[in-house]
């Protein structure tokens, strides 16, 4: 079994928010156990009042949601983990 | 001709207004970081700050007396300050306190101060017709009071504004319309919503004088406003002025301005009417010490107003039912009793999370 | 007539949940792809994507010809939507806040709402007027109203008020396909905006394919046998919260979400009232001459013998005040609803 893949907040961080490190998880559109496709919008985060879609890095199943809806995080924090489908 | 004293007065009002917006921004963001929740913190709801608009309020209102009427739009603080609205009560209103100008019922977009005949309101061009009405009253009563309606450049496409121009013109009413052109109607740049670059040309269609002040020069605003207000006061009818200003803090707090080119934001920040007026004052021999003193006085006044406002009591919920009428009917349709059990069921201060 | 309440997450084929704003936009985009005659116009709907995210992403896909920012001239552009609709197109025109209706009411209620009737049916006005409604975020009297009753009162407009993402999408498909003018009133607090967090209820599973929800079908969001709560919009969720609070006390409330005011699903209300005998109507609009009075009148006309107790909660005929303590006082909260249900149950 391959390792779960991180949904990394840094990888979706907006270019024009380089001076900021705090984010806020506004919405999840999936739950643990949800099947997702690569590129699918699975959540929405907010940085400096701008909403940014969080997309799935791979096809698979969401195994862990690490930052809860309404939760705050720092750039680089892992938001969720996805187990790639075989 | 503007005097150095008048320039100093304008400068004081402008630095007061700028610092006021900076301080309100700080207070507004309390409880709203890093997650921005519009209903959280000591100042909830929308907040439209006027940093970059100061020359317009100061340059126009310096010609006004307490008996002259001003209506302002949703971005009102700099105008209120220049018109002499009670700063403490205005601040208490913005904080939603019982001793605020409107007993906590209006908030920052809806400030009313009868002592200096000031009102502002939240819907585009809404203040134009009432300003015409104030001018009508002045004319009928044979006073030499005037009225000034401030509006944004986004409002010049609105029927309420255009109809007001016509009514004021045909009745020769003592009213001046002041367009504050900050280039943006929320996300819509002026050139995408009107083919007329110079908004003061709207006046031509109503046979009314129109003048555009194409810079952040408070003295130029002063001069254009002087002409228009004297004309109104002398019974010669209405005028329209457009003033170029800049939007330095977004449409409202929380507006990330993702639609706005970075260069435009930078340009707005570089053009500073306050610095320009300070240079003018220095050229007239005013020492830096004096400017510092003015600034310190202004900051102190703002800090005092904010500190005072925060100590004021929250309105008692029962006052929600008061002031619907000046002469309340003995029995209104609703007795107001339906919701008197604990209505704050949303729990924490963050609202409905 | 009511559809059964459902577990939305199970009912959908995907694992996907959406906010109400995303569900709305998905329906609009689908209809725009299918039908060239559909276009969207309003203030800040293009680059901004709608102040309440009602059009996010539409400009990128459809361009400025079909997603149009317009000048702040509501009379002109709402009236233009009427004209374009009468010419056979299917415009969607957004009024940023419903409170701004006053600026353009003539076009809304004299043209949009009446032209079908006054032309003896020779014209149709197949447009959608989308608009943001509601308070709870301290924006005071000119930006916090719902005005549900005002629009529902004037004949000729269908009036839609979704409370969940699932309903929002299906009702939007129906609205755009409808040959009559539809006023689609979305509650800001339910849209799922990062900067105005929603309660947990409105985000639901939403199928990816298109589907319609017929107008005039209320949805029983919670079945119960003791007290009927009829409501709409944000207060569906407050009523559901109140109902689950009361569960432990053995009070079983039924929550009926009207979903559309015009047409109004009287049958579902009457069926529920016949079952429970007790009716509470909860509304975020002004109390007098409005939705609460209408629902109670219909219940009285249709099921008077079954009714043993009636109550209503609404904005008590005052403008919406700014300060938090004042707005909370006048806007019916979960505790108010729970107390009213309890009182009816006794």
- Please report, for chain B, the start and end positions of each structural domain, with discontinuous segments joined by +: 4-312
Helix (H) or strand (E) holding B316: none
Which pair of structure tokens corresponds to residue C128? 């959608």
Comparing CA positions, the residue from C339, C103, C7, A37 lying closest to residue B345 is: C339
Angle in degrees, CA B170, B175, B180, rounded to 5: 115
The Cα of C71 is separated from the nearest Cα of chain A by a number of Å equal to 25
Contact C198 B352 (CB under 8 A): yes
B257 touches chain A (CB under 8 A): no
Residue A27 to residue A46: CA distance in whole angstroms: 9
Looking only at the bridges linking them, the beta strands covering A50-55 and A41-47 are antiparallel
Residues of chain B short of pLDDT 50, as ranges, are: 336-353
Instruction: For residue C143, indicate whether it is catalytic.
Output: yes
Contacts of C16 in chain A (CB under 8 A): 29-30, 34, 40
- Please report, for chain C, the start and end positions of each structural domain, with discontinuous segments joined by +: 8-205, 219-345
Q: Write out pLDDT tens, residues A6-29.
A: 999 988 888 777 788 888 899 999
Contacts of B258 in chain A (CB under 8 A): 50
Which pair of structure tokens corresponds to residue C342? 């309890």
Residue C161 to residue C342: CA distance in whole angstroms: 27
Contact B35 A16 (CB under 8 A): no
Catalytic residue among C143, C187, C235, C345: C143
Give the mean pLDDT per block of 10 residues along chain C (346 residues). Answer: 43 74 98 98 97 97 98 98 98 98 97 98 98 97 98 98 98 98 98 93 96 98 98 98 96 98 98 98 98 98 97 98 98 98 96
C272 touches chain B (CB under 8 A): no
Q: Please tell me the predicted confidence (pLDDT) of residue B256.
A: 86
Helix (H) or strand (E) holding A37: none
User: Is CATH 3.30.565.10 correct for B4-312?
Assistant: no
Contacts of C47 in chain B (CB under 8 A): 187-188, 259
Contacts of A70 in chain B (CB under 8 A): 35, 353
Residue C343 to residue C227: CA distance in whole angstroms: 10
B262 touches chain C (CB under 8 A): no
Residue C228 to residue C253: CA distance in whole angstroms: 6
CB C124 within 8 A of CB C86: yes
What ipTM does the predicted assembly reach?
0.93
Contact A72 B34 (CB under 8 A): yes
Contact C328 B45 (CB under 8 A): no
Q: Please tell me the predicted confidence (pLDDT) of residue C251.
A: 98
Residues whose CB is less than 8 angstroms from the CB of residue B253 and which lie 6 or more positions away in sequence, other chains included: B25, B28, B29, B46, B47, B48, B49
Residues whose CB is less than 8 angstroms from the CB of residue B330 and which lie 6 or more positions away in sequence, other chains included: none
Least CB–CB distance from C194: residue in A30, A33, A46: A46
Q: Write out pLDDT tens, residues A52-70.
A: 899 999 999 999 999 998 8
C313 touches chain B (CB under 8 A): yes
Least CB–CB distance from C323: residue in B104, B160, B353: B104
Looking only at the bridges linking them, the beta strands covering C38-42 and C90-97 are parallel
Which one of B254, B334, B337, B340 would you mutate to disrupt binding with C, by most C Cβ within 10 Å of its Cβ? Answer: B334
Contact A48 B255 (CB under 8 A): no
Contacts of C192 in chain B (CB under 8 A): none
Residue C42 to residue A50: CA distance in whole angstroms: 22
CB C98 within 8 A of CB C132: yes
Least CB–CB distance from B344: residue in C43, C143, C333: C333
CA B246 distance to own-chain centroid: 14
Superfamily classification of domain C8-205 = Thiamin diphosphate (ThDP)-binding fold, Pyr/PP domains (3.40.50.970)
A24 touches chain B (CB under 8 A): yes
Counting Cα atoms < 13 Å in the Cβ hemisphere of B260 gives: 25
Residue B178 to residue B189: CA distance in whole angstroms: 19
Full 3-state SS string of C215-237: CCCCEEEECCCCEEEEECCHHHH
Query: What structural domains does chain A harbor?
Result: 5-84 (2.40.50.100)
Q: Please tell me the predicted confidence (pLDDT) of residue A48.
A: 79
Neighbours of chain B (3+ CB pairs under 8 A): A, C
Does the bond joining B296 to the residue before it have cis omega, within 30 degrees of 0?
no
Contacts of A23 in chain B (CB under 8 A): 34
How is residue B111 annotated by DSSP? -
What is the rounded end-to-end Cα distance, in angstroms, of chain C?
A: 30
Torsion of CA C142, C147, C150, C153, to 10 degrees: 180
CB C3 within 8 A of CB C257: no
Comparing CA positions, the residue from C245, C222, C210, C202 lying closest to residue C340 is: C245
Phi-psi region of C132 (alpha: psi -120 to 50; beta: other; left: phi over 0): beta
Q: Chain B: residue nearest C288 by CA?
A: B333
Q: Which long-range contacts (CB under 8 A, 24 or more apart) does A36-41 make?
A: A36/A60, A36/A61, A36/A62, A36/A82, A36/C15, A40/C16
* Burial class of residue C107 in the structure, from the number of CB atoms within 10 Å of its CB (0-12 exposed, 13-18 middle, 19+ buried): buried
Q: Chain A: residue nearest C15 by CA?
A: A34
3-class DSSP assignment, residue C196 = strand
Contact C15 A51 (CB under 8 A): no
Q: How many CB atoms lie within 10 A of CB C136?
A: 25
Comparing CA positions, the residue from B41, B45, B47, B53 lying closest to residue B14 is: B53
Angle in degrees, CA C51, B188, B21, rounded to 5: 75
B33 touches chain C (CB under 8 A): no
Q: Please tell me the predicted confidence (pLDDT) of residue C11.
A: 42
Least CB–CB distance from A46: residue in B36, B255, B353: B36
Residue labelled with tokens 């447009």: C127
- Taking an 8 Å Cβ-Cβ cutoff, which residues of chain A contact chain C? 24, 26-31, 33-36, 40, 44-46, 49, 51, 70
For chain C, the helix, strand and coil percentages under 3-state DSSP, each to the nearest 5: 40, 20, 40
Same fold, C8-205 and C219-345: yes
CATH number corresponding to C219-345: 3.40.50.920
Q: Please tell me the predicted confidence (pLDDT) of residue B332.
A: 55
Least CB–CB distance from C47: residue in B35, B259, B339: B259
CB C89 within 8 A of CB C60: no
3-class DSSP assignment, residue C24 = helix
Residues whose CB is less than 8 angstroms from the CB of residue B313 and which lie 6 or more positions away in sequence, other chains included: B97, B98, B99
B46 touches chain A (CB under 8 A): no
B256 touches chain A (CB under 8 A): yes
Residue C93 to residue C77: CA distance in whole angstroms: 8
Residues whose CB is less than 8 angstroms from the CB of residue C101 and which lie 6 or more positions away in sequence, other chains included: C95, C108, C131, C147, C150, C151
């Amino acid at each position: 079994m391959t390792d779960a893949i991180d949904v990394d907040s840094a990888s979706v961080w907006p270019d024009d928010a380089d001076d900021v490190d705090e984010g806020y998880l506004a919405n999840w559109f999936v739950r643990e156990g949800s099947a997702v496709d690569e590129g699918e919008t699975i959540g929405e985060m907010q940085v400096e009042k701008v909403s940014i879609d969080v997309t799935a890095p791979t096809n698979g199943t969401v195994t862990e949601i690490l930052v809860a809806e309404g939760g705050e995080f720092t750039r680089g924090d892992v938001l969720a983990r996805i187990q790639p489908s075989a | 001709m503007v005097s150095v004293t008048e320039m100093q007065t304008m400068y004081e009002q402008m630095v007061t207004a700028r610092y006021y917006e900076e301080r309100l921004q700080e207070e507004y963001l309390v409880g709203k970081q890093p997650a921005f929740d519009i209903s959280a913190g000591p100042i909830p709801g929308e907040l439209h700050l006027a940093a970059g608009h100061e020359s317009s309020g100061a340059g126009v209102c310096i010609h006004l007396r307490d008996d002259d009427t001003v209506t302002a739009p949703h971005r009102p603080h700099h105008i209120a300050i220049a018109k002499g609205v009670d700063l403490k009560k205005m601040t208490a209103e913005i904080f939603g306190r019982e001793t605020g100008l409107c007993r906590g019922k209006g908030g920052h977009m809806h400030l009313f101060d009868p002592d200096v005949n000031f009102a502002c309101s939240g819907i585009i061009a809404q203040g134009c017709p009432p300003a015409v009405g104030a001018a009508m009253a002045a004319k009928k009563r044979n006073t030499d009071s005037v009225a000034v309606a401030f509006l944004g450049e986004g409002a010049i496409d609105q029927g309420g504004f255009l109809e007001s121009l016509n009514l004021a013109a045909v009745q020769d009413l003592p009213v001046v319309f002041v367009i504050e052109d900050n280039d943006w109607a929320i996300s819509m740049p002026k050139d995408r919503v009107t083919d007329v670059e110079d908004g003061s040309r709207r006046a031509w269609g109503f046979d009314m004088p129109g003048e555009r002040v194409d810079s952040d020069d408070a003295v130029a605003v002063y001069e254009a406003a002087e002409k228009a207000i004297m004309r109104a006061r002398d019974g010669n009818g209405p005028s329209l002025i457009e003033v170029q200003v800049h939007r330095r803090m977004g449409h409202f707090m929380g507006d990330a301005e993702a639609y706005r080119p970075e260069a435009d934001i930078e340009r707005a920040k570089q053009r500073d009417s306050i610095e320009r007026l300070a240079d003018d004052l220095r050229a007239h021999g005013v020492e830096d010490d004096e400017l510092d003193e003015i600034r310190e006085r202004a900051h102190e006044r703002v800090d005092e107003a904010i500190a005072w406002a925060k100590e004021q009591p929250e309105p008692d919920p029962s006052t929600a039912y008061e002031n619907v009428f000046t002469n309340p009917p003995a029995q209104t349709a609703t007795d107001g009793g339906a919701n008197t059990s604990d209505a704050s069921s949303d729990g924490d201060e963050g609202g409905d999370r | 007539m009511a559809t059964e309440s459902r577990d939305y997450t199970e009912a959908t084929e995907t694992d996907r949940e959406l906010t109400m704003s995303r569900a709305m936009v998905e329906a609009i985009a689908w209809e725009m792809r299918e039908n060239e005659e559909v276009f969207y116009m309003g203030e800040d709907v293009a680059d901004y994507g709608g102040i309440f995210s009602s059009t996010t992403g539409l400009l990128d896909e459809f361009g400025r010809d079909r997603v149009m920012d317009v000048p702040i001239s509501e009379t002109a552009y709402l009236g233009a939507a009427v004209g374009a609709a009468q010419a056979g197109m299917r415009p969607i025109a957004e009024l940023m806040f419903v409170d701004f209706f006053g600026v353009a009411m003539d076009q809304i209620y004299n043209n949009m709402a009446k032209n079908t009737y006054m032309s003896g049916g020779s014209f149709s006005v197949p447009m959608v007027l989308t608009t943001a409604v509601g308070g709870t975020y301290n924006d005071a009297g000119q930006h916090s109203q719902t005005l549900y009753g005002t629009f529902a009162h004037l004949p000729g407009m269908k009036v839609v008020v979704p409370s969940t993402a699932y309903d929002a999408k299906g009702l939007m498909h129906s609205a755009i396909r409808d040959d009559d003018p539809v006023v689609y009133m979305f509650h800001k607090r339910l849209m799922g905006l990062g900067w105005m967090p929603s309660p947990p209820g409105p985000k639901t599973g939403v199928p990816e394919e298109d589907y319609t929800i017929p107008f005039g079908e209320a949805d029983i969001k919670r079945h119960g046998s003791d007290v009927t709560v009829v409501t709409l919009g944000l207060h569906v969720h407050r009523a559901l919260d109140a109902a689950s609070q009361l569960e432990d006390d053995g009070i079983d409330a039924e929550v009926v979400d009207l979903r559309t005011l015009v047409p109004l699903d009287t049958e579902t209300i009457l069926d529920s009232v016949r079952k429970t005998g007790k009716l509470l109507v909860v509304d975020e609009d002004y109390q007098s001459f409005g939705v609460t009075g209408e629902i109670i009148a219909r219940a009285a006309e249709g099921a008077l013998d079954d009714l043993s107790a009636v109550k209503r909660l609404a904005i008590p005929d005052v403008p919406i005040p700014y300060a938090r303590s004042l707005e909370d006082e006048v806007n019916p909260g979960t505790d108010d609803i729970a107390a009213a249900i309890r009182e009816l149950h006794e």
